[in-house]
A = this chain, B = another copy of it.
Amino acid sequence: MEEKNQTEHQGTSNVHQIKPIRCIVKLGGAAITCKNEIEKINEENLKTVSLQLRQAMVSGSSSVKFLGMDWSKRPGISDIYSSVDDFREQPSLDSSSFIVVHGAGSFGHFQASKSGVHKGGLNQQLVKAGFVATRISVTSLNLEIVRALAREGIPSIGMSPFSCGWSTCERNIASADVSMVAKALDSGFVPVLHGDAVLDDSLGCTILSGDVIIRQLAAELKPEYIVFLTDVLGVYDRPPTEPNAMLLREIAVNEDGHWSVVKPALAERNRKVEITVAAHDTTGGMETKISEAAMIAKLGIDVYIVKAATTHSLRALSGELKGNIPDDWLGTVIRLRR
């Protein structure tokens, strides 16, 4: 797998990149914000996710002293000087390459839907204002996530897709410059991108989702694996709140993009599960998620969908699942049929 990735990197001629990327992590909006309260971060989850990311990045060093990298003034915390001085002589840790992409959750959603940013029309004052308001909301979330990661010693760098020059045409990606992301990685940083309001050549503007950003980054940078951190254990055959909802443990994707559930073994019921999944998917939920994931898996990249801030997410982030899936691991693996 590693060798294959490295070969593919050399073939990506338009991207300046030396280090292979290990993992792209999606922090789902539902996992890191409180969905029902406007602009409220789920601090506890975010802290655990940040801690797990550090553990996964710097393997075997969970006990190593680390340098917090958010030196900003914070309420209730007076002294940031002493910890800085401790690290004057500390050599750099060699954290392997991760990219973080986060959703919006309860940030940006109200602003975008109130003004219809996703439908375009920047000549209308309300849409233009909504575009500004949406970017303010999602960039404030981005800043808080960058700070949470930095406090755990992760050298995180906020990078807005809008500023990086990403734009769309009819909502499809028209321009997606990943060169700055690659340069930041090469310099040892962890780029933190997010779903964003962007310019659209045809509509004027629209919303670019975190999932579409991940698909683009995956295609261009070929990470070893991708982890989607969500607020449920994984992908189910029906809404997980329903009785008898069954966790789909492994989905195999063919070269042509078609996919089917291989674990739990369902044999003749396969087709029925697919239909059920599609049927309950009125809000771009699981069917969209599986389809997006299947497109990534087609590239030979493992996709893990797992509940954030659990032992299962730590194992996924650490790359434990690259071979066989342990029986006691709960989550959904989507990968190329072997």
Contact = CB atoms under 8 A, between A and B. Distances in A.
A39 B73 contact: yes
Interface string A133-167: 10111011001001100100101111110111101
Given A92-B128, A125-B92, A165 B143 contact: no
Given A67-B125, A70-B133, A150-B133, A84 B163 contact: no
A91 B126 CA distance: 8
Contact of A70 (B38, B70, B92, B136): B136
A71 interface: yes
Contacts of A69: 128-129, 132-133, 136
A128 to B, nearest CB: 5
Contacts of A179: 165
B84 A126 contact: yes
Contact of A73 (B38, B114, B188): B38
A157 B135 contact: yes
A244 to B, nearest CB: 39
Interface in A189-247: 189, 199, 204-205
Nearest to A85: B114
A123 B67 CA distance: 14
A133 B72 contact: yes
Name, among A72, A147, A150, the residue most crowded by chain B CB atoms within 10 Å (CB to CB): A72
Interface string A62-90: 00000111111100000001001001101
A156 B93 CA distance: 38
Given A84-B126, A125-B93, A165 B180 contact: yes
Contact of A177 (B125, B165, B167): B165
A67 to B, nearest CB: 5
A93 B126 CA distance: 11
Interface in A91-131: 91-93, 110-111, 114-115, 122-126, 128-131
B133 A71 contact: yes
Given A91-B124, A165-B164, A132 B156 contact: yes
Name, among A69, A91, A155, A177, the residue most crowded by chain B CB atoms within 10 Å (CB to CB): A69
Given A129-B153, A184-B199, 4 more contacts: A91-B125, A92-B122, A131-B155, A158-B160
